[in-house]
Each structure stands twice: as structure tokens, then as C-alpha cells.
Amino acid sequence: MTNPIDDAAAEPGAVPVDVTTIHPGPSGGGEWFGHPRQLARLFSTEMWERFGYYGMRALLTLYLAQHFLFSDTTTTGVYGGFTALVYLTPLIGGLLADRYLGSKRAVKFGAIVMAIGYLILSYQGDPAKPFAMIEGQRYEVAIEGKGDARQQFVVDAGQKLLIKGNDDKTVSLLDAGGKEVRKIADGQFKSDGERSPTTVFLLLTGLALVTIGNGFFKPNISTMVGSLYAPGDGRRDAGFTIFYMGINLGSLFSQFLCPLLALGMGSWEGIGWWAGFLLASAGMFLSWALIQFDGGALDSVGNRPADAPANKDLLIYVGALAMAPVVWLLFSNLMGYVRPEAGAGLVGYFMGLPIMGKMMFGTFLVAVPAILFWAWKNGSKQEFQMMLAAMVLITFNTVFWTLFEQAGSSLTLFAERNTNLSVFGLFEINAAQTQIFNALFIVLLAPVFSALWIRLSNRGLEPTIPMKFAVALMGVGAGFLFLVFGAQFADGQFQVGLWWLAGLYLIHSMAELLISPVGLSMITKLSIARIVGLMMGVWFLSISVAQYVAGVVAQFASVETVGGQVTNLKVSLDTYVGVFTTIGWVSVGIGALLMVLAIPLKKLMHGVK
């Protein structure tokens, strides 16, 4: 990290602090490792908030697939929609804090709403009851055994018939002696689950509250950190670096502990889903308490703007909570989405999208050319060229995060189904815990990359921003291709060794460090000053779109499941390998294209580095 904006940008969606508008840092009160003592409390607040969020996120995909028995298409669609709104709502929360609430009030409100959201998610209720639709007729499904010994049966006239998925995607029903009683053609066997309407209602309510609370918390905690330092304070870079470590420490521990309580590890089966979400809620409540009961430590930090009316707070809080039903409906609409058949065409595909998809794609596709047209008409030739370069990089950045964010959806399902989760034969982790690799590698590699950029910069060899973006795109593709290569060494159970998946995360983490820390800084440098705020909004919109599209991409890796388990592991492995191969080579190709465009983009940037 080379500057405070870069450090704030290290997590996609973190809002940078405008160094031209921050007020002088608080005076007196001692120091913490050479920094204002308030940094310690904000560090801890962020750490516990990220503990709650990443712990919940590690569980979400598997929770939807295994407890609610949603199809892969629904699971990844809801997950993508949720993470998309998580990166979109900070635009509104940041604006309300800047004009009315002040950062501290916004953070406290966001924290308590998120904590309540996680608490609601911890009410898991009874699991969905599986059933199957075979050639239009409904049959009960019975599940026996656990782990690798788990088997699914269709109950037909009191007889239990074992469900066996075939390599050609047909399904065979076998009697107790293993004889095929019935063979069902591809597409004629559909599994689902009978769910409690109350439990589904609470699931979507919890996700809606987390989304709204995040919008208030996420942008404003970074603003509070920035306000600790007066303009020109040389400690600011290091302060944001320390703060950023809180993000990674929180995610590192939560992505191990929350799945541990929910799913267990090795021979221990864990306590239950509710325990993992409850731990996330406890972390979030602790984050709120650190701000709410600060003992006066933050009296001079993040206060309401001097010219802001003080009588709007309750209206804002009530208005925010009143949006929960709207968010609930957006999530509910995602659950009913059916991917259009091949040959529907681009227009048909767009018209078939859920409301959220239409809203995001439509806004993004209108905003980009509209802003460029405005820049061409109202700015100088140089300003227009710089804006054009920014828009090109924003578009490529969207591609990067679309593929990188497979971690929480398709890659987690791949870990659950087609990965041998044994660690050197000593013990096994669970699929949700595999998300810990990214946080671990970021903690280990961030100082290395920071030192590398300084050394290359001193020698005049540091790559340009477009070149870093290009290498990052090729890197995220290379990660998928690395896993695809490892898939050829899958064992007899069609499972790939854990270290091939860890290798993917290592490559992806290095790619992340190439693109994430420079994105927001790039926007502030290339944008016309009059519309830098609008451009920042487009940046966050692009990341939100990427999160949504990540869910769409994951849907192409959907496989048939019964009771949350795949019916044929070979078909599952082949499906994932096919999708990962495609997106891997596409990403490498797009990265190579950007590498070719890097030279003209450098000219359009007019010396911006």
C-alpha cells in the first residue's frame, strides 16, 4: 500500500477518504504505536465487524444448498444478489452520513442492524424436506447415512429405491439388490425441498437487515479512520495499513470458527448452522459495543457535520428500516429466477433477468456512455481522454471481480463436492473453511507486494495501472486453469486434492494485490474534479454488478442435487472443470487484450500513475 486511498481500497467496496475534506485529527489523548489512540478502537471495531460478515458469508452458500435444499441456480443467484447489494448500499449510507448523521452515528446504527440480521439468520428452523418430481409426478425422498456414506432414496409405494446419477445425466432407481428398476431421462428428474414459509421469510429478512446495516457501517468506519489524521500527516498511510489488517484478521478467524461451529471438522459434526450464525452475531454486537460504549475515546471523531440538522436522525433510521421489505422482495424475486434456454438471444436474456439484474445492468449500461458523453461535451480533450481511460479500466475491473468472487459460490460448492478436504492426512477441514486461504495469503503477501512496488518504483520499473490490471486478469484466469490441471489427478471418488484449491487461492490472492489497492486511487486521479463523486458511484456500481454477475456465472456450474447432495460426482466434476476451463481461458484472453491496450491507455492517462 502506498497511500491512504490505496489502503482503503484494499477491500473492494471500502470507501476512500477524501484528503481534501477531512478535518484535523483529534488532539491529545496519547498514542497507540505512534498513532492516535482512537485507531486501536476503530481497528477492533472493524475487525469484529468483518469477523461477523465473513463468518456469515462463509456459511451462506452451503446453508442455502444444504439446509434449505435450494437448487444450485437459486443458491448462487441469491448469494450473488446479496453480495451485489452489500457493495451498492454504501453509496447511500455514505451520503446520509456526510449530510446528516455523521460517521459515528451511521456506524453505530449499521452495526446494531447487522447484528440483529445475523441473529435472525441464526434461527435455522427445521431443515427442508426433500422430494423429487419424476416425469411430472411427486415422490418423497428419504436420506440415510452421513458424510460419504450418505444415500438418497425415492419412496415409491412404500419401496425405497436408491437414486443413482449416471454419467450421461440420466438417473437410475435401484432396488435393494442393486438392480435397475427404472431409468429416467435427462431433464425428467427434478429434486426440490418443502420449506417452512416462516423460516424462508426469516432468512430473507436477516439478509435484508445485513444489507441495510452494511450500507451504513462499511463506508463510514473508513471515514472515521481518515479523520484521525490532519492533512499532510505522514502517519496516515501506516494508519490505514494497520486498519486494513483488522479486516483480514477478522475474516481469517471467522472463516475458520463460524464454519467450525456450524459444520464441525473431521469426525466432529459441529453444533449446527445456528451456532455459526450466532457467533457471527456475537462478533457484530461486540463491534457495536466498542463504538457505543467508547468511554469518550471517540468524542471528537466522526461527529455530525456542523451545518447538518439534528432532527433528521429518527426519520433516517425509520426510513432505512422501511426499505427492508423492498430488499426482501428483491431477494424473493431472485429465488424465482429460471435461466433462459439457450438461443434466447441477448435481448431475451436481459428481459428474462430478475428485477435486480435489470436494474443493475440497465443503470451501468446507461451511466457509462452518458458520463463519457458529458465529459466529451463539457471537458477538455485531455479530461475526456482521462475519463475514457477510467471507464475502460472500470469495465475490465468488473470482469476481474466477477471471476474472483466465485470463491463464495461455485468454488465453495466445488470444495464441498469434489475436493478431498484432508490436510496432510492428519485431519479434515470443511468446505466453508476453504475460504480462509484468501485471507491468509493476503496477510502474508501484502507486505511483500508493498515492498516490491517500492523497490520497482525506485528503479523506475513499476508497472502502469493498466498493466497491473492486465496481469491481474490473466492471474485470476490462471488460478482456474491451475485447478483444472489438478482435476486430472482426481481420485476414485472424483475428488481433487485440497492443495490444488489452495493453489488457486494463492494465485487469486496475488492477482487481487495487483488490482485492488490501486482501483479507487485511479478513479480519483483520472476523473474530472466536478464529477469525481459520480465517478466513484460508477466504480461501486461496477463492483456491485460484478458481484451479481458472479452469481450468474456460478449458475452455469449448476448440477443436479437431491437433498443437497449431487447424484453423480463424475458429472459434477466434469461440469465444474468445463466451466472453470472456459472462464479461465476467457479471463486470460481478456487480460492479454488489456495488455495490448495498455500502451494507448497510458497515453490517454496523461502521466497519471
- Whether the CB-CB separation of 499 and 423 falls below 8 Å is answered with no
Domains 16-126+196-338 and 354-609 share a fold: yes
pLDDT at 237: 65
Q: How far is CA 448 from CA 302, 478, 590, in A?
A: 33, 21, 27
- Whether the CB-CB separation of 528 and 464 falls below 8 Å is answered with no
Q: How many CA atoms lie within 13 A of 514 on its CB side?
A: 26
Pick the CATH number of 354-609 from 1.10.10.10, 1.20.1250.20, 3.40.50.740, 3.40.50.1370: 1.20.1250.20
Q: How many CA atoms lie within 13 A of 29 on its CB side?
A: 18
> How would you label 565-589 residue by residue, b for 16+ Cβ within 10 Å and e otherwise?
bbbbbebbbbbbbebbbebbeebbe
**Interatomic CA distance for residues 384 and 392, integer angstroms:** 12
**Interatomic CA distance for residues 196 and 127, integer angstroms:** 8
pLDDT at 10: 46
Give residue 58's region: left, alpha or beta (phi > 0; psi -120 to 50).
Answer: alpha
Domain 16-126+196-338 has CATH 1.20.1250.20: yes
**Interatomic CA distance for residues 255 and 432, integer angstroms:** 7
DSSP state string for 266-292: TTB--S-HHHHHHHHHHHHHHHHHHHH
pLDDT at 348: 67
Burial (CB count <10 Å: 0-12, 13-18, 19+), residue 197: exposed
Residues of the chain with pLDDT under 50: 1-10, 12-25, 27-28
Burial (CB count <10 Å: 0-12, 13-18, 19+), residue 369: exposed
The residue assigned the cell 443458491 is 75
pLDDT at 290: 94
**Interatomic CA distance for residues 515 and 518, integer angstroms:** 6
**Interatomic CA distance for residues 83 and 90, integer angstroms:** 12
pLDDT at 340: 62
For the chain, the structural domain boundaries read 16-126+196-338, 129-194, 354-609
pTM of the model: 0.89
pLDDT at 539: 84
Q: How far is CA 438 from CA 76, 400, 442, 446, 593, in A?
A: 20, 15, 6, 12, 27
Contacts of 21 (CB under 8 A, 6+ apart): none
